[in-house]
Amino acid sequence: MSTQIDNPAKPIRVVHVITRLILGGAQENTLYTAIAQHRDPRFEVTLLCGVDEAGEGHMFEEAERAGVKTVVVPSMVREVRPLQDLKAVFDIYRFLKQGSYTIVHTHSSKAGIVGRLAARLAGVPIIVHTLHSLVFHEYQSEWKNRVYILLKRVCAPFTHKMISVSDSVGQALLERGIGGADQHLTIFSGFELGLFLSVRDRLSVADAKRRLGIPPDAPVVGKIARLFPLKGHEQFLAAAAEIHRQMPDVHFLLVGDGPLRDELLAAAARLGLGDRLIMTGRVAPEAVPDCIQAMDVVVHTSLREGIARVLPQAGAVGKPVVTFAMDGAPEVIRDGVSGYLVPALDTARIAERTLDLLRDAERRRTFGEAGRAFAAEHFSVERMVDRVNAVYVELLTARGLL
């Protein structure tokens, strides 16, 4: 599929709409895409986002440094608030009508619904939606799932393409009658690969551990995720307790912050992990590679993701991964090659597989190299943006807009 746009008379006006510009994988994906397109003379890009009421950090400074025009829509919030959500639809509709945009590309569930409805009402020619995870899942009430599925079905007929970050997300939508097969495709969520591939050239494992107050020769098991429900920290700590029982010198590193911090600290103390658990709090995206470098094994126990960015990021640094075999994880981690896939919620197996790797330095090395090669091939920002742009070109061409 060609990504060429032959000298358009004027730049194609694109709006990316996302619920919040917090520190998170979906937000990085969106911002990286907007930045790359902003630097491309074929596009004129605006980033539209709602407000963060939970204080989870933001990336407005990154957008400003890159020169991406960013507009905040105060009426758009993450929580379901019917009257306010209707106002958000109207506010975005009014913005789009004033701007004569050609493409609206929405991200995340709330923005995906209100943004697509507004774009449809405004008569925007091309509407694209990226699904970074599934908003319907087994860990919330059935009525909420039914509402979300219904709203997604309503939006599907006027969505020209739905991009999923993993095949598993797209398949789940099709199974629930959301769009047709011709509307769906998968594009892995890229990240700044160079930061992760190069970290071992500038920072040794021992020094990475020292910076975090960990003895340089201590084994380290780490997890990267916001301290938020469904991110699997309870399961991580359960596995950590068993690992600690069998290998007392292991340290456990949690990277991220959120409302569960105090609860997790208390749980770690009850499990006897108080002096072995290090919590970094929130770290800037560019500091994540250094944190991964300090880990000997990366464990991922989230209960709901599209594809967790830490899986290919760990691979890019050269670290083996132990993860629940759910959502998009099997599309990134090859069992017995770059890590281990474990049945969902089986924390005993997480502990067992992690201990296997901690006891086998050569296996850690070979798994890490396999993960590194896979990440380098599939997860660059350039590859992601090229594929997104190709989708735009296909849709523009089909509608005679090029």
DSSP class per residue in 210-260:
HHTT--TTS-EEEEES-S-TTS-HHHHHHHHHHHHHH-TT-EEEEEB--TT
Tokens matching residue 75: 């009426």
By C-alpha distance, which of 338, 388, 324 is closest to 1?
388
Give the domain ranges of the chain: 12-190+380-398, 193-378
The shares of helix, strand and coil residues in the chain, as percent rounded to the nearest 5, are 45, 15, 35
CA of residue 373 relative to chain centroid, distance: 20
By C-alpha distance, which of 359, 379, 309, 369 is closest to 339?
369
Judge if 12-190+380-398 and 193-378 fold alike in CATH terms: yes
- Predicted confidence at residue 342, as pLDDT, reads 97
- Predicted confidence at residue 5, as pLDDT, reads 53
CATH top class, domain 12-190+380-398: alpha beta
Angle between helices 82-99 and 109-122 (to 10 degrees): 50
- Predicted confidence at residue 120, as pLDDT, reads 97
- The stretches of 271-346 forming alpha helices (DSSP H) are 288-293, 310-317
Tokens matching residue 251: 């340290």
- Predicted confidence at residue 3, as pLDDT, reads 47
- Predicted confidence at residue 51, as pLDDT, reads 86
Q: In what order do the strands lie in the sheet containing 297-300?
A: 277-279, 251-255, 220-224, 297-300, 321-324, 339-342
Tokens matching residue 195: 């930061």
Write down the CATH number for the domain with range 193-378: 3.40.50.2000
Residue tagged 């509402």 (tokens): 147
User: Cα–Cα distance between 301 and 299 in angstroms, integer?
Assistant: 7
Kindly give, in sequence order, each residue whose CB lies less than 8 Å from that of residue 373, ignoring residues fewer than 6 positions away: none
Q: Is 87 exposed, middle or buried (0-12, 13-18, 19+ CB in 10 A)?
A: middle
Kindly give, in sequence order, each residue whose CB lies less than 8 Å from that of residue 94, ignoring residues fewer than 6 positions away: none
- Predicted confidence at residue 1, as pLDDT, reads 40
Amino acid at site 221: V
Tally DSSP H helices, then E strands, for the chain. Answer: 16, 13
- Predicted confidence at residue 242, as pLDDT, reads 98
> Tens-of-pLDDT digits for all 402 residues of the chain?
444 555 556 899 999 999 989 877 889 999 999 999 999 999 999 999 998 776 667 889 999 999 999 999 999 998 888 999 999 999 999 999 998 899 999 998 899 999 999 999 999 999 999 998 877 667 677 888 888 889 999 999 999 999 999 999 999 999 999 999 999 999 999 999 999 999 999 999 999 999 999 999 999 999 999 998 989 999 999 999 999 999 999 999 999 999 999 999 999 999 999 899 999 998 988 999 999 999 999 999 998 887 899 999 999 999 999 999 998 999 999 999 999 999 999 999 999 999 999 999 999 999 999 999 999 999 999 999 999 999 999 999 999 987
Question: Contact at 8 Å (CB) between 372 and 334?
Answer: no
